[in-house]
């Protein structure tokens, strides 16, 4: 079973700038077999700039920590150090995302972007991963 908790907020200091963020915490445990449990934390911050470059366009940046196991127990005993010794959860993954929403018309938006994951799988031995994105939005 799991319990999930989160908080998020947004602040708009000017008409064109929006700041935001969120954080979450999850506890999870087994219902059958050997008792196991884990605690997972994650968070992110965001920046949006409306009318960047041209009216109707938006620049967006997101930076945060991917979900990370910060506590783990097996049969009531902490195993987080053993996980770290094997390379599991030995460091912290970070997520960086940039996007630029381009208004082509009143009905069509195109949003290219890039996502970079540093230390994938919370392991600093893993090379950064890069993902290109392209989204098209049609409104009627």
- Per-residue pLDDT of the chain (140 residues), as tens digits, is 999 999 999 999 999 999 999 999 999 988 887 788 889 999 999 999 999 999 999 999 999 999 998 888 887 777 777 766 666 667 899 999 999 999 999 999 999 999 999 999 888 889 999 999 999 999 99
pLDDT of residue 84: 67
Q: CB neighbours of 105 closer than 8 A, spacing ≥ 6?
A: none
3-class DSSP state of 84 = helix
Measure the CA–CA gap between 97 and 90, rounded to whole angstroms.
23
> What pLDDT, on a 0 to 100 scale, did the predictor assign at position 88?
66
Model pTM score: 0.84
């Amino acid at each position: 079973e799991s319990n999930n908790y989160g908080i998020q907020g947004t602040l708009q200091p000017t008409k064109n700038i929006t700041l935001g963020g969120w954080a979450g915490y999850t506890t999870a445990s087994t219902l059958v077999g050997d008792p196991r449990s884990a605690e997972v934390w994650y968070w992110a911050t965001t920046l949006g700039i409306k009318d960047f470059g041209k009216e109707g366009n938006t620049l967006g940046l997101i930076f945060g920590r991917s979900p990370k196991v910060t506590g783990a127990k097996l049969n009531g005993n902490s195993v987080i150090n053993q996980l770290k010794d094997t390379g599991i959860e030995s460091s912290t993954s970070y997520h960086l995302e940039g996007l630029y929403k381009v208004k082509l018309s009143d009905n069509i938006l195109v949003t290219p972007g890039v996502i970079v994951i540093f230390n994938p799988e919370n392991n600093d031995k893993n090379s950064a991963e890069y993902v290109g994105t392209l989204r098209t939005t049609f409104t009627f």
